[in-house]
Structures are given as C-alpha cells and as structure tokens.
Amino acid sequence: MSRIPADLLEFMETLRVPKGVNPADMLQRYDAIMNGNPPPVGAVHDGVLLREVAGWRLTADIAVPFGPGPHPVLVYFHGGGWTMGSPKTHLRVGREFAAAGYLTINLDYRRAPKHRFPAAFDDCVFATHWAAENAARYGGNPKRLAVGGDSAGGNLAAAVLAECAQKGGPKINVGVLIYGVFDYYKAISGLGTTGPSTQFYLPEDQYETLRGDYRVSPLFACSKFPPCYVGVGTKDPLLPESLELARRLKEAGIEHDLHVVEGAPHGFFQLTPLPAYAEGYRRATTFLTKHLTH
C-alpha cells in the first residue's frame, strides 16, 4: 500500500479509522458524513471543461446560489495532500458556500504523484483566470472574486494569491485559507516527512531548488495578499502554519481573521457533526460578505 499523506492522518484519527486503511476507501466510507444531504442551491453544473492539458481534462463543478445574481465568485481548491480528493469529496463544501450566496467553482486539478508540481499550481492559476473571464456566464460577478481552499488546497489558494499579486491579476478581493500549508518544507518536516523521497508533491530532483519559492511556500510572498480568513483548529498538526501566516499578515498590515477553533481537528469543514463545522462556515462567510458586497 502507498504511504498515507501525512496531512490526512489527523483526519483519519478523528474519524476513528484504523491506521493502514486505504485512504480512498476511508473517504468513500465516510462520504455520507462529509457530503450527505447538502444544502440546496440554485443550480449545479458538474464537470464543466476548462481546458485539456497533459492528458488531463481540467474540469470544475460549479454551484450557483439562488437568486438572480450576479453573485460574488469563489474559486475553491480541495484538500487531499496534493494526491487525492476531488470536487466530489468536497461536494458539500462547495454547496455550503453556494448556499451562502457565492458562485462556487470547485476545481478538479491535477494530482501527484503522476502530476507533480507545478501541475496543480498551474491548474489553479489557470482556473482563477478562467473564472475572471467566464464566471458571468454562470451568473457570477468576476469583479467580486475570492480564492479559497483547505489543507493542500489552502496551500494552492495561497500560492494563487501570491502569483496573482506578483503578476498583476486578476484582482482577488479576498482569500479563504482553511488549515493550509504555507511553508511547505517546515510543514512536512513537522508531519514526519523529511526529504524528497518521502513526499509526493515536488519533483525529487527539484526538491532543494524550490526552497523559498512562493508557489510552493506562499508564506514568503504573503505581504501582498488581499484580506484573508485563516481558519484552523487547536487539534490540527498544521496549526503552526496558520499562526505564522497570521503573524506575517499582521506585520504587513493586511486585514485578516485568524479563527482558531478550540478542540477542532484537521478537516472540520467537512465534519458535519462537530460544532466547529457550522462555526467555521459562519466566520468564513461573514468575512467573505464583508469584502465582496461592494
């Protein structure tokens, strides 16, 4: 069996799944908890083709809010250790944000180890540009644009924020960064992954040369981020990542909401039975509304 990505171990422990269980089987087993009975939305467009690249059909599931619009837009990148997950494992996440009033574009980006960095990053950047150019076709207002993600997706979302700030657009009004990885090397070291041969995301022959690259560790380019919601639980092994990002944002004078949820584990935005679930969406959508209503 392949090694379970380290940033999912806490999630599996929370669900009391024995270590050694195939993570894909685990996700399927708990799909009813993570995605069952999602909130109603105005419309759903599954598998919208954005482009084809390297033999991969880059698609997105688009959830449209009720009402005439135009709606603010959230481009969302799912978690899964850069190796697994999809818009389907994060179906409810997309529907929750759409139910709260945001046209949510839930991206099915390329995943490692078959597609290593920069494949996922490139897909996420492309999808953000695509949203700016095409969201209006689905009732969205691309001038009110947010980018977000959880775990590995939080890393990708922050990297997109950095890239768009460095390259001059498209303008992103707000970031939603949920228990993400912001200093890749420090995070994987803390999770017990110590070198190029024990991680799946970066090409082994580029592992050392990518240190300090904001596309991998967006913490190093966060001084130009837009306002950000930063959500994490106290039982998350990635807690230090969010705390350090918030510290850097404060130093740079960037408005942010550091939301540290007492007792919450990694993955709580998908654990509907936990009080942290509702609290997380309430805080995240409040922050989004503040920055996307004008």
Which residues participate in catalysis according to the annotation?
151, 236, 266
How far is Cα 240 from Cα 108, in angstroms, rounded to an integer?
28
Type of residue at 234: T
Determine the 3-state secondary structure of 196 from DSSP.
helix
Rounded to the nearest 10°, the torsion over CA 196, 201, 202, 205 is 50
Determine the 3-state secondary structure of 42 from DSSP.
coil
How far is Cα 82 from Cα 151, in angstroms, rounded to an integer?
9
Vertex 76, ends 74 and 79: CA angle to 5°? 155
How far is Cα 42 from Cα 95, in angstroms, rounded to an integer?
10
- All residues at 6 or more sequence positions from 22 whose CB lies less than 8 Å from its CB, including other chains: 1
Residue 71: strand pairing partners: 140
Q: What is the CA radius of gyration of the chain?
A: 17
Its sign, for the CA torsion 107, 110, 113, 117, is negative
Q: Which tokens sit at 77? A: 């990148």
Return the residue matching tokens 């017990």: 192
Q: H helices of the chain, where?
A: 9-14, 23-29, 31-35, 91-99, 119-134, 152-167, 184-190, 239-251, 275-292
